């Protein structure tokens, strides 16, 4: 290989290269940059850790300094939360602080410590038989409930963290109030602070409900499910009749390298993961390019009835997807219209089992997904095509570009540039495209090779539909479901990270304008 590819070239030297050389040079440079990128990532992580450390150090320092320098009111507030606020006439706010403190300690005393005590083992005594004097016999007595222990224990920990945060805020507010008083100004009245909630602090008002919703219905459940991935919670360890407990990384180990013939879990995972990625790739890019071509055809100058073509395609977006998906699934079923017609026409004798042959099922889902997806992409591409400045085409025409060259040199790069982030989102959505797969392949029979203790999977199952089947299946294998959920997260996060580093439009948004 020519040496010139292995050193950084100046602009003029670079311009001398021919197209192939440029490509090789860029490739070499890309790989040469990788160590730097990785190093950069580590530096970022290190800086983040450093910033965290600094933050904690500052907090601790501030915590003590506030006590040493603070007025006696502030010092009392360390023990009695909200005292400073009450003293400085922010009575209601102070009472809220105080009430929170009281509730916290009462809760911890009555129930919090109880759950925390069991948290380490997730319950010690399960359902057991005990002699009962009234019945004069042995009866089943409920013991601990691991599910409850895990749930309430986790909530207690969150509660403790929330308390620490509030305590810290209480101290910080006292310090600020001390400073205000010292500089001779007045502490804001409650009324003033309430007014701020529609003005300077409006974001707090607006964010309160949505963030609370996200915390309760997304963040806490996800934390809980991540914890479940480290337990043996499943149908046979439901936590009630049979306790479940912490098992460390066992579930991950089993998923990633379980060998042996009985449990082909890691084989199944590998198969399904690779099909998921293949599916996402084809589903994204077939739609993307075909949709773009359709948009270009419709928008071509001289084509009439543009509204009609567009309208018919948009109509298919309007009809709820599940209706069309279920119906099409039935069209291709063993006794469906397609088979019926083929038999009527004498083309085949026996009905084709489209959904039970892995290859035909896979091809069909991708094709039907194109049918579903083209109208969306047509809309998006139309919007972008309209936005491409016409003078780009005019100048290209004057420079002597033909239609094909205009497409490859202007339209395509522009589209790719503008829709880079969309492609990524769409890829990720396809990884998690439950509806298309689940509703289409309801008739597909599970592949025996993909049978696991968790549930049976078919050849067209994605990770997300597998997850659904495992959770709703007979064994309720929650621990496996959690691990798979985390795996999906890792795949998605990894792809996003790579794409983010490669895409031009995430960095310099101004290039094409």
Q: Is 272 in the site for other proteins (CB under 8 A)?
A: no
Reference 112, options 159, 168, 147; nearest CA is 159
Q: Is 501 in the site for other proteins (CB under 8 A)?
A: no
Please list the alpha-helical segments (H only) found in 187-260.
190-196, 202-214, 220-228, 250-257
Q: Is 295 in the site for other proteins (CB under 8 A)?
A: no
Question: Considering the complex, what minimum distance in angstroms separates the CB of residue 324 from other proteins?
Answer: 6
Site for other proteins (CB under 8 A): which residue of 146, 232, 268, 482?
482
Widest CA span of the chain, in angstroms? 102
Query: Considering only residues 147-176, where is the footprint of other proteins by CB under 8 A?
Result: 147, 151
Q: Is 380 in the site for other proteins (CB under 8 A)?
A: yes
Site for other proteins (CB under 8 A): which residue of 241, 312, 363, 498?
312
Q: Is 319 in the site for other proteins (CB under 8 A)?
A: yes
Query: Considering only residues 410-429, where is the footprint of other proteins by CB under 8 A?
Result: 418-422, 424-425, 428
Residue pair 459/362 in contact (Cβ under 8 Å)? The answer is: yes
Q: Is 303 in the site for other proteins (CB under 8 A)?
A: yes
Closer CB to other proteins, residue 243 or residue 328?
328
State in Å, rounded, how far the first CA of the chain is from the last one. Answer: 38
Beta-bridge partners for 422: none
Question: By three-state DSSP, how is residue 451 classified?
Answer: strand
d(CA 367, CA 373): 10
Count of residues that bind other proteins according to CB under 8 A: 99
Question: Considering the complex, what minimum distance in angstroms separates the CB of residue 388 from other proteins?
Answer: 12
Cβ of 85: how many Cβ atoms within 10 Å? 25
Binding string to other proteins for residues 451 to 480, with x set by CB under 8 A, is what? -------------x--xx--xx-----x--
Question: Considering the complex, what minimum distance in angstroms separates the CB of residue 500 from other proteins?
Answer: 10
Q: Residue 162, by phi and psi: left (phi above 0), alpha (psi -120 to 50) or beta?
A: alpha
Q: Is 356 in the site for other proteins (CB under 8 A)?
A: no
Beta-bridge partners for 128: 141
Residue pair 361/460 in contact (Cβ under 8 Å)? The answer is: yes
Positive or negative torsion for Cα 256, 260, 264, 270: positive
Q: Is 343 in the site for other proteins (CB under 8 A)?
A: yes
Closer CB to other proteins, residue 19 or residue 203?
203
Closer CB to other proteins, residue 1 or residue 209?
209
d(CA 476, CA 238): 9
Site for other proteins (CB under 8 A): which residue of 209, 259, 347, 398?
209
Site for other proteins (CB under 8 A): which residue of 51, 194, 211, 348?
211
Stretch that binds other proteins, among 11-19, 68-76, 129-137, 198-206 (CB under 8 A): 198-206
Q: Is 32 in the site for other proteins (CB under 8 A)?
A: no
Query: Considering only residues 384-403, where is the footprint of other proteins by CB under 8 A?
Result: 384, 387
Alpha carbon of 351 to those of 144, 158, 170, 325, 334: distances in Å?
55, 58, 73, 21, 6
């Amino acid at each position: 290989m020519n040496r010139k590819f292995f050193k950084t070239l100046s602009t003029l030297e670079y311009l001398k290269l021919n197209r192939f050389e440029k490509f090789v040079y860029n490739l070499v440079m890309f790989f040469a940059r990788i160590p730097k990128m990785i190093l950069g990532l580590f530096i970022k992580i290190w800086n983040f850790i450093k910033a965290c450390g600094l933050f904690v150090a500052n907090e601790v320092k501030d915590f003590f300094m506030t006590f040493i320098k603070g007025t006696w009111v502030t010092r009392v507030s360390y023990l009695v939360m909200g005292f400073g606020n009450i003293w400085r006439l922010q009575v209601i706010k102070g009472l809220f602080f105080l009430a929170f403190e009281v509730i916290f300690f009462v809760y911890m005393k009555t129930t919090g410590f109880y759950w925390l005590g069991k948290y380490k083992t997730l319950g010690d005594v399960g359902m057991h038989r005990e002699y009962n004097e009234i019945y004069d016999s042995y009866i089943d007595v409920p013991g601990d409930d691991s599910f409850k222990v895990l749930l309430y224990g986790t909530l207690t920990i969150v509660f403790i963290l929330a308390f620490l945060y509030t305590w810290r805020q209480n101290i910080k507010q006292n310090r600020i109030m001390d400073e205000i008083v010292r500089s001779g100004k007045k502490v804001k009245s409650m009324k003033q602070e309430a007014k701020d909630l529609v003005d300077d602090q409006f974001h707090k008002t607006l964010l309160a409900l949505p963030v609370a919703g996200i915390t309760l219905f997304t963040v806490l459940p996800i934390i809980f499910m991540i914890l479940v991935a480290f337990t043996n919670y499943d149908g046979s360890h439901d936590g009630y009749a049979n306790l479940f407990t912490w098992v460390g990384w066992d579930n991950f180990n089993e998923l990633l390298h379980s060998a042996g013939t009985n449990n082909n879990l890691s084989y199944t995972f590998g198969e399904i993961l690779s099909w998921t990625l293949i599916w996402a790739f084809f589903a994204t890019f077939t739609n993307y390019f075909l949709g773009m071509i359709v948009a270009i055809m419709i928008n071509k100058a001289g084509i009439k009835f543009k509204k009609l073509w567009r309208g018919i395609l948009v109509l298919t977006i309007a009809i709820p997807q599940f209706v069309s998906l279920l119906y099409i699934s039935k069209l291709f079923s063993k006794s469906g219209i397609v088979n019926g017609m083929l038999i009527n026409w004498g083309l085949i004798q026996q009905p084709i089992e489209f959904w039970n042959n892995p290859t035909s099922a896979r091809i069909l889902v991708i094709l039907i997904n194109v049918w579903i997806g083209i109208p969306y992409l047509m809309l998006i591409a139309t919007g972008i095509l309209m936005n491409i400045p016409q003078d780009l085409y005019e100048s290209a025409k004057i420079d002597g570009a033909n239609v094909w060259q205009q497409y490859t040199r202007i339209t395509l790069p522009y589209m790719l540039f503008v829709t880079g982030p969309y492609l990524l989102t769409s890829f990720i959505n396809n990884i998690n495209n439950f509806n298309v797969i689940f509703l289409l392949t309801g008739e597909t029979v599970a592949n025996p090779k993909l049978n696991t203790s968790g549930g049976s999977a078919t050849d067209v199952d994605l990770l997300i539909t597998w997850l659904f089947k495992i959770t709703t299946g007979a064994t309720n294998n929650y621990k496996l479901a959690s691990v798979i959920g985390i795996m999906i997260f890792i795949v998605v996060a990894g792809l996003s990270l790579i794409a983010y580093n490669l895409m031009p439009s995430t960095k310099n948004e101004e290039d094409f304008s």
